[in-house]
Amino acid sequence: MTALVVRELVTETPSIVSIRLESPDGSSLPLWQPGSHIDVQLLTRHERQYSLCGDPADLTAYRIAVRREPRSRGGSHYIHGYLRVGSLVWVRPPRNLFALAEAPSYLLLAAGIGITPILSMARHLAAQNAEWQMTYATRHRDDIAFADELGALGERVTTHVSGESGRLDLPALLSRASPGTAVYACGPQAFIDELTELAGLLPEGSSIHVERFEPRQREHRPNAPFTVVCTQSDVTVEVPAGRSMLESLQGAGIPVEGSCLRGICGSCAMNVLEGEPEHRDSLNSDERSMTIYPCVSRSLSPTLAVDV
């Protein structure tokens, strides 16, 4: 992980603060693309994932935004209560599990703190003179984050305040999309669940891409023991019913990263070479995928061979 220094803290709304992170010596940071996030480790040793919401063309800093969570697991509480300009945080390089695909047009949808990855996408698409529209939903007007930056993007951006205008009409938004539109959405679980259930309203050739902050609810069979064959390491690891695959691999000395431990950040991804993975993550949309996230996922076959 790389140490970065907090150069700026800005109160964007009563519950959201944005943070500008720079290299202590002022050197350039690694390139990133819209949709990327970074893993941030705080002084408290809490490690959390935050979407980059700055300008992808600005390599002098990374900018993230954090919402104050009443039921914080530690990260939000520390950032809002104790983080100060000049503080050091430790950051892993940007990863992108929410990348913009080529499409004739784009519909960007954000709710609440979900504005963070969507803002960088909107800025990028505007710079590319792409065909795009964006709707940002909040409950109250003072919940609108980055209002000046959104205003600078012009009439392609619509803000919807449900406390004034009622519930956002997602069916109407999707029904008006043109064929081939790529929909990118980020927000609370209920917002994303409703959106994915309405995917059938999109015209032919369109697609929906979502990023979740919380794991989606999935049904799965009871835990059963299985064996993992690590082909690169030439190590065989037994995974008991009461332990995750990630914990078992790390306990056997296999160098596998793990951050969120909830199947949403992608840091522990590995390729399955043989066997049938049981996907319990919130990243895979294809149950036949041979990418597994061992912090939560397991195996449907007695043995799983992985490329680690």
Q: Which two tokens stand for residue 296?
A: 């939560």
Three-class SS of residue 209?
strand
Residues 234 and 292 in one domain: yes
Closest to 98 (Cα-Cα) out of 297, 308, 283, 296: 283
Residue 75 in domain? yes
- Is the pTM above the cut of 0.85? no
Residues 117 and 206 in one domain: yes
The pLDDT score that the predictor gives to residue 266 is: 83
- CATH number of the domain encompassing residue 297: 3.10.20.30
Closest to 146 (Cα-Cα) out of 169, 121, 163, 165: 121
- State how far the Cα of 293 lies from the Cα of 277, in Å rounded to an integer: 10
Residue 221 in domain? no
Closest to 69 (Cα-Cα) out of 21, 16, 19: 16
Q: Which two tokens stand for residue 239?
A: 């995974």
Q: Are 220 and 300 in contact (CB under 8 A)?
A: no
Residue 46 CB coordination number (10 Å):
16
pLDDT at 239 over 80: yes
Residues 159 and 191 in one domain: yes
Residue 220 in domain? no
Closest to 205 (Cα-Cα) out of 234, 171, 229, 181: 181
Q: What pLDDT, in 10s, does the model give residues 188-202?
A: 989 999 999 999 999
Closest to 52 (Cα-Cα) out of 42, 70, 38: 38
Final residue belonging to a domain, choices 64, 91, 118: 91
Which of these ranges, 186-200, 210-224, 288-302, has the smallest mean pLDDT? Answer: 210-224
Q: What is the CB-side half-sphere exposure of residue 7 using CA atoms within 13 A?
A: 14
Q: What pLDDT, in 10s, does the model give residues 61-89?
A: 999 999 998 766 678 888 999 999 999 99
Residues 118 and 206 in one domain: yes
The pLDDT score that the predictor gives to residue 129 is: 96
Final residue belonging to a domain, choices 50, 66, 91: 91
Residue 266 in domain? yes
Binned at pLDDT 50, 70 and 90, residue 286 comes out as confident
Give the number of domains in the chain.
Answer: 3
Strands across the sheet with 226-230, in order?
235-239, 226-230, 303-306, 270-274, 291-292
- State how far the Cα of 240 lies from the Cα of 55, in Å rounded to an integer: 45
Residue 98 in domain? no
Per DSSP (E only), the strands in 68-119 are 88-91, 105-111
Q: Which two tokens stand for residue 140?
A: 């109250």
Final residue belonging to a domain, choices 58, 91, 124: 91
Q: Which two tokens stand for residue 184?
A: 């990118």
Q: Which two tokens stand for residue 34?
A: 């819209």
Q: Which two tokens stand for residue 70?
A: 């009443």
Which long-range contacts link 281-290 to residues 24+ away (Cβ below 8 Å)?
Answer: 281/215, 282/212, 282/214, 282/215, 282/216, 282/218, 283/97
What is the domain range of residue 12?
A: 2-91
